[in-house]
Amino acid sequence: MRYRGMWIIGDYMSNWQYSKEVIKHFQHPKNVGRIKKPDGVGRVGNVVCGDVMVIYIKVGKKNGKEYIKDIKFETMGCAAAIASSSMLTELAKGKTIEEAKKISMKDISSSLGGLPPIKLHCSNLAADGLKAAIADYEKKKKQFKPEK
Ligand code: FES
């Protein structure tokens, strides 16, 4: 089904017990969409369930440190994947690049009040999506570094 511009696969009506926080982030996800001219894009997917996530970041500079100025996502996947993407964006926004790299699946799942064991990989996908977006940003930065 299509919900708020995203494709939901499968499980919303299943009998897994989701926390209130998961339901809240699934029903009212934060930072959905694309960033125009992003500094980094991370595309990740899980071959087993077929879920796909794209994370967009805009990087700013504050007190000499690079930080996640803006972050958005597009997810085609399950309720837990959408809630994890939404929570990831909330956790990452405003963090320095080095802090953002350390956001783990555990940080995401515990901020969501826990996920059913079979759904833990959804939070891992979100963490990997951010790492891929940061890696893309760092690769582009190296490529366009002016010669001295
Ligand atoms: S079921 Fe695979 S990411 Fe949610």
Per-residue confidence of the chain (148 residues) as pLDDT tens digits? 555 555 555 555 555 689 999 999 999 999 999 999 999 999 999 999 999 999 999 999 999 999 999 999 999 999 999 999 999 999 999 999 999 999 999 999 999 999 999 999 999 999 999 999 999 999 999 987 766 6
Helix (H) or strand (E) holding 58: strand 52-62
Minimal-distance CA residue to ligand 1 atom 2 = 49
Q: Please state, in angstroms and as integers, the Cα–Cα distance from residue 136 to each residue in 9, 18, 35, following that order.
A: 27, 33, 15
Residue among 25, 4, 6 at smallest CA distance from 123: 25
d(CA 114, CA 20): 10
Q: Does residue 148 lie within any of the structural domains?
A: no
Minimal-distance CA residue to ligand 1 atom 3 = 122
Q: List, chain by chain if needed, residues with CB within 6 Å of any ligand 1 atom.
A: 46, 49, 51, 77-78, 80-81, 119, 121-122, 125
- Integer-rounded Cα Rg, in Å, for the chain is 15
pTM of the model: 0.88
Q: How many domains is the chain built from?
A: 1
Q: Does residue 136 lie within any of the structural domains?
A: yes
The pLDDT, as a whole number, for residue 16 is 65
Helix (H) or strand (E) holding 71: strand 65-76
Considering the candidates 78, 100, 103, 122, report the single residue annotated as catalytic: 122
Q: Does residue 49 lie within any of the structural domains?
A: yes
Q: Mind listing the pLDDT tens digit for each residue in 84-103?
A: 999 999 999 999 999 999 99
Q: 65 lies in which domain range?
A: 2-143
**Amino acid sitting at position 111:** S
CATH code for position 70: 3.90.1010.10
Which residue, chain included where needed, has tokens 């369930």?
49
Q: Does residue 47 lie within any of the structural domains?
A: yes
The pLDDT, as a whole number, for residue 40 is 98
Which residue, chain included where needed, has tokens 């901020």?
111
71 — phi, psi (to 5°)? Answer: -150, 135
Q: Does residue 77 lie within any of the structural domains?
A: yes
- Verify whether residue 78 is a known catalytic residue: no
Q: Which two tokens stand for residue 107?
A: 């940080």
Distance from the alpha carbon of residue 70 to the mean position of ligand 1, in angstroms: 24
Q: Does residue 32 lie within any of the structural domains?
A: yes
Q: Does residue 123 lie within any of the structural domains?
A: yes
Distance from the alpha carbon of residue 49 to the mean position of ligand 1, in angstroms: 6
Q: Does residue 56 lie within any of the structural domains?
A: yes
Residue among 103, 49, 57 at smallest CA distance from 76: 49
